[in-house]
């Protein structure tokens, strides 16, 4: 059940609606609020004792009206399992992509994000199940260099390799990367390798050792360490949750 934004300053949902909302939650439904819809969930008592968020302009009002709610004004969304809340309208899209990712996997969420011309994930200052990073939109030589690197993640690529491909000095590359992708070359490579590992875990029957080699992580031990730090679970645990229902691809490494 999704509750959209509601009018403020006084959200006054009907008792019948609040009762229906509580009944749906008690029956096991997932309840989601977008933007100021969190006021409705709070009025129904579904946010008591839970972390929740809303648009930052209304966070103080939510905390004042519902002191039993742990209001987080510094995050894009909160996920309490069956009760989720988002901040403003763009953050509502972040939460919806998070739900797609949870239900259908990282590849599905990334594909939808590209169609929406939106990042698949934006850091929100909250511990959460880390999503694959969005692919930067190609921009002249930098975009070409990043696509070149994406096709060679199994190789020991360096900042100098990327800079040479982009026709820039290493220092210029770092500045351009920060300006256009918000990250450093090495951090971008690391996240792309983790993203590739997620895709291969979802869509192939390759072993962790094979995936580690394909992603440029070297050994299964290295992949497990970095994967757990970024994603929060082991590669095999991730596969058990996000493995595609269709038959796995067996030709991914040919």
Torsion on CA atoms 65, 71, 74, 76, rounded to nearest 10 = -100
- What span, in angstroms and rounded, lies between the C-alpha atoms of 135 and 196? 12
Q: Give the SS3 label for residue 169.
A: coil
b/e code 144-154 from CB counts within 10 Å (16+ = b) = ebbeebeeebb
Beta strands in the chain (DSSP E): 2-3, 31-33, 51-52, 70-71, 77-79, 83-86
| Listed residue (235, 133, 110) closest to 183, CA to CA | 133
- Cα separation values, 154 from 44, 149, 227, Å: 51, 9, 16
Nearby residues of 127 by Cβ (< 8 Å), 6 or more positions away: 232
Residue positions annotated with a catalytic role: 35
């Amino acid at each position: 059940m999704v509750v959209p934004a509601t009018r403020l300053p006084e959200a006054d949902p009907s008792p019948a609606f609040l009762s229906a909302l509580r009944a749906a939650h008690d029956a096991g439904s997932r309840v989601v609020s977008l933007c100021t819809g969190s006021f409705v969930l709070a009025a129904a008592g579904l946010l008591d004792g839970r972390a929740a968020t809303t648009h930052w302009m209304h966070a103080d009002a939510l905390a004042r009206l519902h002191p039993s709610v742990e209001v987080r004004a510094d995050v894009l969304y909160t996920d309490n399992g069956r009760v989720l809340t988002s901040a403003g309208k763009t953050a509502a899209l972040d939460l919806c992509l998070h739900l797609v990712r949870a239900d259908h996997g990282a590849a599905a969420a990334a594909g939808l994000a590209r169609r929406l011309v939106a990042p698949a994930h934006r850091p929100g200052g909250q511990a959460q199940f880390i999503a694959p990073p969005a692919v930067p939109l190609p921009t002249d030589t930098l975009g070409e260099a990043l696509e070149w690197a994406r096709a060679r993640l199994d190789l020991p690529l360096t900042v100098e390799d990327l800079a040479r491909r982009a026709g820039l000095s290493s220092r210029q590359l770092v500045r351009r990367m920060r300006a256009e992708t918000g990250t450093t070359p090495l951090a971008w490579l690391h996240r792309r390798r983790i993203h590739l590992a997620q895709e291969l875990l979802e869509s192939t029957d390759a072993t962790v050792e094979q995936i580690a080699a394909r992603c440029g992580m070297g050994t299964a031990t290295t992949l497990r360490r970095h994967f757990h730090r970024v994603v929060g679970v082991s590669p095999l645990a991730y596969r058990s949750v996000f493995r595609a229902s269709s038959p796995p691809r067996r030709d991914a490494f040919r």
